[in-house]
Structure 1
Amino acid sequence: MEKRELAIITLKKDAGEVYSNQIKYFLGSNININLYSFEEDNLNLLHEKLIVLSVRLKYDEISAMCSNDTQIIIPNLTFEKSSVKKISKLDEHKKVFVYNLSKSMALETITIIHKLGINIQNFIPSYPGADNILPDSIVLSPGEEILIDCHNCKIIDLGYRIIDLGCIADIAIHLDLKHLIREDLLNKFIAKVVPTSYITEKLLLSQTRLENKFDFLLASIDEGLVCISEDKIVQFYSHAAREILDVNENGMTGKYIGDYIKSFDFRQLKKESANIQKVVRVKNIDINLDIRYADICGFRGFIIKLAKFYVSEKKQAKLRAQLMNSGNVSKYNFEDIVGCSESIMESKKIAYKMAQSNSSILIIGESGTGKELFAQSIHSASYRSEGPFVAVNCSTFQEGLLQSELFGYDEGAFTGAKKGGKIGLFEMANKGTIFLDEIGEMDLNSQASLLRVIQERQIRRVGSDKVVDLDIRIVAATNRDLKKLVCEGKFRKDLFYRLNVLPLKVSPLRERVDDLFLIFESFKKNLDANFILSDEVVDIFKRYNWDGNIRELSNLAEYFSYTGKDIIEVSDLPEYILESLEQRDPCEEIAKEEKSYDKFKFKRLISDYIFVLSKMNQAYNLKQRIGRKKIYEYALEEQVFLTEQQIRSILLELQEYELVKVLSGRGGSIVTEKGRSFLKEHGK
């Protein structure tokens, strides 16, 4: 936007600077002010179209230097309240000389003082050459103290006179900047300066209060608003519109709207057909336009509502998530993945490139390495970032229930189905990303259904004959060897290759020790903890295996925060860490035991099978049968980390090797003699 220009002409240079600073106080950097003074003799032909002239007697002289369309404002002047206070303390019966550069200027100063309510009648004008100031007199001077020649006089310098509010308002109106005069600035000015016009002061304050309230309402609306006349000229627009269109404040005012939104032909806009909703592109950003005609309070024109398309879509996604009673949005991006090691930086680099694709991603890594963090970051970096992010843990659903959760169901699809049916997680993730965690735990029937979704990009709710088209991106994760499961017939080969289009490996914490303490410090910061680790503990951290990876590190940081210690010593470490350093890795010991039973090819740690067999053996001794729910209750009591679904998988494996017998219905399960022998040999 072109800056407006203003010329200020005064007798003395210093006075011009005072007036300039006062105008800038209200109008800021939106105006170029050029200073001229008779003292500097720098006056010649003036090009400015608006001039503030402080000396009325010079009007004809200045007018001759200007073009015919130049406007000259002769301001009313006033004093600051501190100066008026000095005058009001004078004895009203004494003679007071008022000194200025000329008789007319001295008389003008006396007139201003009277307007400000000072009742002293014995003001005597004085000026260079008058030689009328008596010894021992009181002399008032508006900034001319150094020129006064008198004997033993009390000189009161009132300072330079100040431009009145009315003049400020005139300048703002002439330059179309009146919107910049804010109520808070007016209040500060009035607190400091005595106004010469009470009516001007009140009108300005009243108008500014209304404008401020209107600005407040506009600022509270996220969408931008632009008001244009019937000839498509911008009348005003909100702060949000300014940011969306990337224009300066008041840069569009008085301009043709088509110069700023060029992708829409505003010439075709008619009031009869002004109910338009359209997506246009402005400066490489998609913008929603909503245009309506308005005829209100004498205004006839168009109201344009603007919103960035991706912002609108994000709001819609959040509303859909609320409607579905879930917070299906991603919370993390790649900046939240802490680490500087070569492996993590490479994984982030590859994952970012994968985010730009729409192909399925398979994230492979041990439990606790942050696979979901990567999944959310991929979603946040993709073009689907404004859509929902739905995370599903496949190991938490029993066989049969997973499909109804993933695909939804119609009313009456099965006993216990909700009235009206239920939307599935795949539908919930439409236009976004679905994250299938622990995909290796999915049963074969669900795998077949998932394969169809990937191939057809359609789902059918349980109990429905209608298909629903989907636009989703699938990100899966596993801590198991899917190739091995494929060879064992426990995971579909065709599904594996459908998911493994873009494989991403996340290294365990023990392989990236460089990241260990960076991540630990981030956990401390989140906990607002101030403890430090002793050198011995730092050394143990470096040597420790971190089987639980980042999740274990997070738990440890929280544990230390509750100790109340400033320095964490070796004695403060949990026992399991110290024990792991004194003997061989317990997992290695278990693995060694498993070697004697290689023929079983167990998928999990042998300790999990020992736990299940021991509980079944206890029931056997009591001549009872036991089901997976009861075993799950024992697991909760003894803090053994097994889900009910995992226990079911273990029972099926044990039955496969004839170590247990799983009965149908609610008959429970019983341990076989072979199982009792196995338990006797390997149980503890």
Structure 2
Amino acid sequence: MKKSVAIVSLDARAGQFYAQQVRDLFGDRVFVTSYSVRDGSVARLKKADLYMVSTDAFESVGDLHQYVPINGEIMEIQVTFLWEVVRQLQQLPAGTRALFVNLSDKMAREAVSRLNQLGVNQLEFEMFYPGCTSPADAAGFDLVITPQEQRYVPAGAKKVMDIGQRVCTASTMTEAALRLGMDELLESPQFRAYQAAVAANTYSYDQMFNRSRRLESQFELLMEILDEGLVGVTETGEVFACNKKAEEITKVSCKLALHRRAGEVYPFIPFVECLKAKKPLPARVVRAGGANVNVTVAPVLRGGECIGAFASLQSFNDAEKRQNELRSQLLHKGLRAKYTFADVLGSSPAIQRSVNIVKRMAATDLPILLIGETGTGKELFAHAVHNASPRAAGPFVAINCAAMPENLLESELFGYEDGAFTGARRGGKPGLFEFAHKGTLFLDEVEGMSPALQVKLLRVLQEREIMRVGGNQIICVDVRIVAATNEDLEQRVENGSFRRDLYYRLNTLPALIPPLRERGDDLFLLLDHFRQKSGVDFELSPQVRGLLASHQWRGNIRELRNVVEYFSYTGNQLILPGDLPPTFRYLPRQELPGAAVPAIPASAALPAPAVGPGPAAVDAAARRFVLHQLYAADCRCAALGREAILQAARAERFPLSQQEVRRILAALAAEGLARVSRGRGGTRLTPQGRSACQRGAL
């Protein structure tokens, strides 16, 4: 709200000048009106928040209150010169005879006296004003000096120097700001510039006052921007400082605390102990405001004497929140999950079932193990799990465990201290577990983790504690683990390459991501999505649609995206079989890529997909491939293990995972066609299975 200011002066021109100075300095915060005694406008003086009256306006206090209300906020206008004018007059030769011309005798004497105080003492001044009879002529003076009153300069002047109107002193403007309640303006650039430009004969005092005011303002600003509560006491234990953060933590109003004994207001802060000991007290935990608070007290010493003390207060919750924010700032990538379940494209029953199951899993805080072939979208599901979980506001950090050596992976996950190893960053580095605090850590290809790291990961899952490489301090972390694998971890447990206890920790909530070949028409839905993203319009010929629909898609969605990208660069509107990528190797689902075992009739009908103990159906081509391998081994009178079947599949470039082999063998055992032994006994065909293969009945 604007404040009103009334300027009252003897002369109208001087009053208008002072009014303009106030407007320039206070801006649109004030409404300024000037009144003159000489022209009678003072009789129309209106009510104002502040009355600024020049020293020459009235002869007595009685005259003043004839116009200005006795209970009004009144202050005196003190005037001075600019330093620029003072320096200009000081350069004049000593002994120069100068005639000073002003509006009145009083104003002329005040001006000359002020110039003498400011160091202009080498001139021989005489004064002239309207009504003055002597001197009658200015010809006898070397120079005539006037503050914009040339209208009163007598005739015959050799040289006239106009030094401009006298300006309000810095103390006058400071007092006006304080009386109007605009203390904050004292720190503004305009006030500082004005103070520097206006001459003052109290330079040392002004400097000390300005320094004190500046330090006080800086102290108040520092107290309020601190993210900790701060309470200050004098040497007698009286509270003299308290910031808003301390008020928030202690639930004690700063207004009530100031100027009272600290022991009465803050009995939980050991000020008396600190003042007596004259040394900082170690941090301690106290109960304040219904919460645990970390309190540190330090004395203020001057010349060996304790003149006060300060206490810093920090809420445990605030400290943890700030650590999380700093961790987020330190790690510039992988902190935010980019995808949700809405980004999972597909309407097939297989993908919808997976989405529904994983959505329900996301609402918990338990570890999730995403199982699926390469390129099926396991990382997208991990992002979606985080965004659908209660930890969605926390960080999301992802790392591929198979992409880096063991020692490097350990330092990335757990961080390291300064000097932990050659090449370590100076000052150490937090690990991904610390960055993921209160969030989610996604471990992709978790099967690539070494046995030593598996032990450390198991401890994190059990104890929620880590220790940096080369460190000796335990760091508590709260992280939800989402792991992903494209291999059969249970088989790795059997052969000893993956810890059983860690497997059961990660396998708390397993989720299967279906391969593209099991998702039906989702193939073309995804194809249209990638085509739109490429920005190129093309159509598929019926032959190409048939080839893509019956392809095995070993690389799943990743392979499909590459194919669509290639189509966008062919330049053809209609995609024909000849436009397929040169690296595209068509592998139909109905045929095995390897040579058939001769003992099984080539005309044998393909078996229908068998349903094993799990909910997923076994792929017919995969079942046929496993039967071929078992029959070939049976012809050699040998058993066949799951790893041997997988090696054969890799050799023949047939897409087969450990999970699929396990399900197929379980289904064959349930049908009485095979006998699965525990451990390293392997699997053999039963007589019934051998007979069926020879007849081609499967």
Partner of 1:331: 335
Q: Which runs of 5+ in 2 are unaligned?
A: 259-263, 275-280, 348-355, 397-435, 463-468, 593-605, 694-698
Question: Which residues of 2 match residues 493-504 of structure 1 at below 5 A?
Answer: none
1:408 to 459, 462, 475: 459
Does the 8 Å CA contact 1:233/1:257 hold for their aligned counterparts? no
Question: Which residues of 2 match residues 71-82 of structure 1 at below 5 A?
Answer: 72=75, 75=78, 77-81=80-84
Task: Give the Cα–Cα distance (whole angstroms) in 1 for the partners of residues 362 and 229 of structure 2.
Answer: 30
Task: Give the Cα–Cα distance (whole angstroms) in 2 for the partners of residues 355 and 606 of structure 1.
Answer: 30
Question: Which residues of 2 match residues 183-262 of structure 1 at below 5 A?
Answer: 188-189=193-194, 192-204=197-209, 206-207=211-212, 210-211=215-216, 214=219, 218=223, 221-227=226-232, 235-237=240-242, 241=245, 255-257=255-257
Name the SS for the 1:256 alignment partner: helix
Q: Which amino acid aligns with 1:393?
A: L
Alpha-carbon distance change, 179 to 384 in structure 1, aligned in 2, over 3 angstroms: same
Per-residue Cα deviation, 1:349-407 (whole angstroms, up to 9, x for no partner):
x99x9999767798999506733333443455469999522424375238996985664
Partner of 1:389: 439
Partner of 1:372: 382
Does the 8 Å CA contact 1:510/1:549 hold for their aligned counterparts? no
Alignment RMSD, CA only? 7.7
Per-residue Cα deviation, 1:533-555 (whole angstroms, up to 9, x for no partner):
77559999xx999x9999969x9
Task: Give the Cα–Cα distance (whole angstroms) in 1 for the partners of residues 581 and 22 of structure 2.
Answer: 83
Per-residue Cα deviation, 1:46-71 (whole angstroms, up to 9, x for no partner):
775xx654326647358745668977
Per-residue Cα deviation, 1:245-298 (whole angstroms, up to 9, x for no partner):
9xxxxxx98x3259xxxxx9869999669999667779xxx9968586978679
Computing the radius of gyration from Cα coordinates, the structure with the larger value is 2
Partner of 1:38: 36
Alpha-carbon distance change, 152 to 663 in structure 1, aligned in 2, over 3 angstroms: farther
Q: Which amino acid aligns with 2:118?
A: L
Task: Give the Cα–Cα distance (whole angstroms) in 1 for the partners of residues 531 and 247 of structure 2.
Answer: 41
Partner of 2:117: 115
Task: Give the Cα–Cα distance (whole angstroms) in 2 for the partners of residues 569 and 80 of structure 1.
Answer: 80
Name the SS for the 1:118 alignment partner: coil
Alpha-carbon distance change, 76 to 550 in structure 1, aligned in 2, over 3 angstroms: farther
Alpha-carbon distance change, 579 to 585 in structure 1, aligned in 2, over 3 angstroms: farther
Name the SS for the 1:397 alignment partner: helix
Percent pairwise identity: 15
Alpha-carbon distance change, 367 to 19 in structure 1, aligned in 2, over 3 angstroms: same
Task: Give the Cα–Cα distance (whole angstroms) in 2 for the partners of residues 219 and 175 of structure 1.
Answer: 24
Name the SS for the 1:374 alignment partner: helix
Alpha-carbon distance change, 339 to 217 in structure 1, aligned in 2, over 3 angstroms: same
Name the SS for the 1:332 alignment partner: coil
Partner of 2:319: 312
Task: Give the Cα–Cα distance (whole angstroms) in 1 for the partners of residues 137 and 528 of structure 2.
Answer: 87
Per-residue Cα deviation, 1:508-527 (whole angstroms, up to 9, x for no partner):
99859999799x7xxxxxxx
Give the Å deviation of 1:184: 7.1
Alpha-carbon distance change, 14 to 241 in structure 1, aligned in 2, over 3 angstroms: farther
Per-residue Cα deviation, 1:19-47 (whole angstroms, up to 9, x for no partner):
4257649xx96xx7876643642547777
Partner of 2:17: 15
Question: Which residues of 2 match residues 601-640 of structure 1 at below 5 A?
Answer: none
Give the Å deviation of 1:200: 2.6
Partner of 2:147: 142
Task: Give the Cα–Cα distance (whole angstroms) in 2 for the partners of residues 592 and 584 of structure 1.
Answer: 22
Does the 8 Å CA contact 1:6/1:52 hold for their aligned counterparts? no
Alpha-carbon distance change, 159 to 209 in structure 1, aligned in 2, over 3 angstroms: same
Per-residue Cα deviation, 1:636-657 (whole angstroms, up to 9, x for no partner):
x99x999xxx965566567666
Q: Which runs of 5+ in 1 are unaligned?
A: 246-251, 259-263, 345-349, 412-417, 455-473, 486-506, 521-532, 561-567, 679-684
Task: Give the Cα–Cα distance (whole angstroms) in 2 for the partners of residues 107 and 371 of structure 1.
Answer: 89
Partner of 2:418: none
Does the 8 Å CA contact 2:99/2:143 hold for their aligned counterparts? yes
Give the Å deviation of 1:182: 4.7
Give the Å deviation of 1:332: 1.9
Does the 8 Å CA contact 2:5/2:32 hold for their aligned counterparts? yes
Give the Å deviation of 1:199: 0.9
Does the 8 Å CA contact 1:10/1:53 hold for their aligned counterparts? yes
Partner of 1:60: 61
Name the SS for the 1:196 alignment partner: coil
Q: Which amino acid aligns with 1:389?
A: G
- Structure-1-length-normalised TM-score: 0.52
Partner of 1:492: none
Task: Give the Cα–Cα distance (whole angstroms) in 1 for the partners of residues 212 and 93 of structure 2.
Answer: 40
Task: Give the Cα–Cα distance (whole angstroms) in 2 for the partners of residues 122 and 641 of structure 1.
Answer: 113
Alpha-carbon distance change, 4 to 599 in structure 1, aligned in 2, over 3 angstroms: closer
Name the SS for the 2:319 alignment partner: helix
Alpha-carbon distance change, 232 to 37 in structure 1, aligned in 2, over 3 angstroms: farther
Name the SS for the 2:609 alignment partner: helix
2:609 to 589, 593, 598: 598
Q: Which amino acid aligns with 2:113?
A: T
Alpha-carbon distance change, 443 to 368 in structure 1, aligned in 2, over 3 angstroms: closer
Partner of 1:491: none
Does the 8 Å CA contact 1:228/1:303 hold for their aligned counterparts? yes
Task: Give the Cα–Cα distance (whole angstroms) in 1 for the partners of residues 147 and 124 of structure 2.
Answer: 18
Question: Which residues of 2 match residues 512-527 of structure 1 at below 5 A?
Answer: none
